[in-house]
Amino acid sequence: MSGSTTVYVPRDAAALSVGAEEIAKRVEDEARKRGKAVEIVRNGSRGALWLEPLVEVSTANGRVGYGPVAPEDVTSLFDAGFLDGAHHQLSLGVVDDHEWFAKQDRLTFARVGVVDPLSVSDYEAHGGLVALRKALTMDPQAIIDEVGASGLRGRGGAGFPAGIKWQTALQAQVGQKYICCNADEGDSGTFADRMLMEGDPFALIEGMAIAGLAVGATQGLIYVRSEYPHAIGALRAAVLLAAESAILGRDVLGSGRVFEVEVRVGAGSYVCGEETAMLESLEGKRGVVRAKPPLPAVEGLFGKPTVVNNVMTLASVPWIISHGASAYRDRGAGRSRGTQVFQLAGNVARGGIVELALGVPLRDLVDGFGGGTRTGRPVKTAQVGGPLGAYLPSSAFDVPMDYESLLAIGAMLGHGGIVVFDDSVNMAKQARFAMEFCAEESCGKCTPCRIGSVRGVETIDKIVAGERRRENLELLLDLCEVMTEGSLCAMGGLTPLPVKSALDHFPEDFGIESVEGSTRGATA
């Protein structure tokens, strides 16, 4: 066949960060030089960030991958005949059959890296809009029942059941309601929201529209952090395209129903990821946390009922509606149903997106998919669940990654980020950083968070310096307790988690033998 060959070169920010733009340019130039007709599609990333830039070629057998491709590899790829899927030293074979992908269970991320992110027709060809069309024929209560029955819980960190939140908003008898998508993704070690917004933005838009139909909201807002310029660009373009295709607007898919989406950009504040601080910020104010109640679902943005959900939560909804609640609920463990989009980050050999049913052992992720550290040194610890998550020693890696199992060992799932460290890390330094981060990002409303974190930094310094170690250790534990008990939100309330887990599991890094042996047994 003499038609043109489709070549995929990602435009995902992470792929661009290691040279994907240059690869796209070289493929285009080389093809022109050789008189080959190619159509270059700028897809999202498949999530195997360790293979980026990952170039794929569409063949009769499927999409054949090559990676990581350096600019100087492009000529030899053409020489080898990669346009026909021929072998080259960077060959990965048919990408869907590659074990790193084949072993995953991609629902929320099914289209990310596969489709052209800004093509509505590609979106539809891969199952897009099926759910929205279905939802338009459903009763609001039926949509909420379906989401509730799926067991979907908030993926932003707190794990609150999505169906219950939606029910609360539905029951509020108020005209104007809002759907606010939390795309602030401030946790270090997390990038799933970013990759979905860049790689499959219509999935988020469709999920928001379904949420709007379910609770009776006609206006959606996406609060995306300013550190994500590529995602902001993709979302803005997708919202325009969705409006042109009547996925959004005054007449959603010809139904006469209304749903519009506006993209709003944050301004560099971690606490603005906390839902009520986000609402304050969306109202144009300082992003200070509000006391709850009232819940946002009752009194949220401008005092109106507001559903605040994470990107992953909302983007999972179309799959649930189109495949049915039970297909989602059939996956998972205990009260943690469905899949989690895990993010392998830090010092890891094969970092990226691993979507699997909740309950997979942490070890399978770090050692299995991740392949251990990138430096080749032993894994010392992984911080699970972002900056407010616990540092777990490798001896604890058999823990199933679900909400309850992690809670049982004093950890939390958070947004599903896993940051791997090798044995060169000093845990007193990490604990200090957790306190420093809290001091820097505190919204200032609660004294334990604002002042306790500053004292925490000083106290850790004293412990490490060997200054009145026992007293200072007790002071640190007291500070942790006061922060846990006396903070309005998880910023101050959970900062003790990384600090205490570092202390408990790695006391030697603080210059002590064990926490109990070094205090009068004051620790719980």
Partner 1 sequence: MSQFADSEGSVLRALQAIQETFGYVPDEALDTVAEVCNVSRAEVYGVFTYYSDLRSTLPAPNVVRVCIAEACQASGSDSLVAAIRAELGLDVHAKSRSGETEIAPVFCLGNCALGPAALVNDRLLGRTTVAKIRAALGDPR
Ligand X SMILES: Cc1cc2nc3c(=O)[nH]c(=O)nc-3n(C[C@H](O)[C@H](O)[C@H](O)COP(=O)(O)O)c2cc1C
Residues near 143 by beta carbon (within 8 Å), at least 6 away in sequence: 135, 210, 213, 214, 321
Binding mask 38-67 for partner 1 (x = CB under 8 A): -----------xx-x---------------
Q: Residue 8: which of 112, 151, 144 has the closest Cα?
A: 112
Q: Are 402 and 452 in contact (CB under 8 A)?
A: no
Q: Which of 163, 177, 232 lies closest to 204 in space, CA to CA?
A: 232
In one letter, which amino acid is 328?
A: Y
Decide whether 162 or 489 has the Cβ nearer to partner 1: 489
From the list 190, 487, 501, 518, which residue makes contact with ligand SF4 (rule: CB under 6 A)? 487
Which neighbouring-strand residues pair with 57? 7, 64
Min CB(185)–ligand X separation in Å = 5
Q: Which of 315, 308, 309 is nearest to 196 (CA)?
A: 315
Q: How many residues does the chain have?
A: 524
Helix (H) or strand (E) holding 3: none
Q: Which of residues 267-296 bind partner 1 (CB under 8 A)?
A: 267-270, 281-288
Q: Distance (Å, rounded) from C-alpha 403 to C-alpha 387?
A: 17
Q: Of 325, 205, 337, nearest to 263 (Cα)? A: 205
Q: How far apart are CA 198 and CA 45, in angstroms?
A: 9
From the list 167, 281, 309, 339, which residue makes contact with ligand X (rule: CB under 6 A)?
Answer: 309
CA nearest neighbour of 57 among 87, 99, 13: 87
By C-beta, is 453 or 459 nearer to ligand SF4?
A: 453
Q: Which is nearer to ligand SF4, 5 or 442 (CB)?
A: 442
**Nearest-angstrom CA–CA distance, 96 and 475:** 54
State the binding partner of 227 from ligand X, partner 1, ligand SF4, none, CB within 5 to 8 A by kind: partner 1
Q: x-or-dash pattern for ligand X, window 477-516, by CB under 6 A?
A: ------------xxx-------------------------
Q: Output the six-digit token pair for 29.
A: 């130039």
| Binding of ligand SF4 by 405 (CB under 6 A) | no
Radius of gyration of the chain (CA): 24
Q: Is 380 a residue that touches ligand X (CB under 6 A)?
A: no
Q: Does 17 engage in binding with partner 1 (CB under 8 A)? A: yes
Beta bridge partners of 356: 340
Interface with ligand SF4 (CB under 6 A), residue from 229, 334, 444, 517: 444
Pick the stretch among 112-120, 224-232, 309-317, 458-466 that binds partner 1 (CB under 8 A).
224-232
Partner interacting with residue 184 (select from ligand SF4, ligand X, partner 1, none; CB below 5-8 Å by kind): ligand X
Whole-angstrom distance, CA of residue 457 vs CA of residue 143: 48
Residue 346 contacts partner 1 per CB under 8 A = yes
If DSSP codes are grouped into helix, strand and coil, which group holds residue 112? Answer: coil
Answer yes or no whether residue 188 interacts with partner 1 by CB under 8 A: yes
Q: Which is nearer to partner 1, 81 or 268 (CB)?
A: 268
Which span (15-23, 178-186, 207-215, 398-406) binds ligand X, by CB under 6 A? 178-186
- Does 313 engage in binding with ligand X (CB under 6 A)? yes
Q: Any contact of residue 126 with ligand SF4 (CB under 6 A)? A: no
Range in contact with ligand SF4 (rule: CB under 6 A) among 40-48, 255-263, 388-396, 487-495: 487-495
- DSSP β-bridge partners for residue 58: 63
Q: Is 289 in the site for ligand SF4 (CB under 6 A)?
A: yes
User: How far apart are alpha carbons 382 and 162 in whole angstroms?
Assistant: 28
215-to-177, 205, 290, 321, 459 alpha-carbon distances in Å: 8, 16, 23, 15, 48
Binding residues (CB under 8 A) for partner 1: these are: 13-14, 16-18, 49-50, 52, 185-191, 194, 226-231, 264-270, 281-288, 302, 343-348, 351-352, 374, 383, 387, 417, 419-422, 425, 430, 433, 437, 440-441
Binding residues (CB under 6 A) for ligand X: these are: 154-158, 160, 182, 184-186, 271, 273-275, 308-310, 313, 489-491
Binding residues (CB under 6 A) for ligand SF4: these are: 271, 289, 442-446, 449-450, 487-489, 491-493
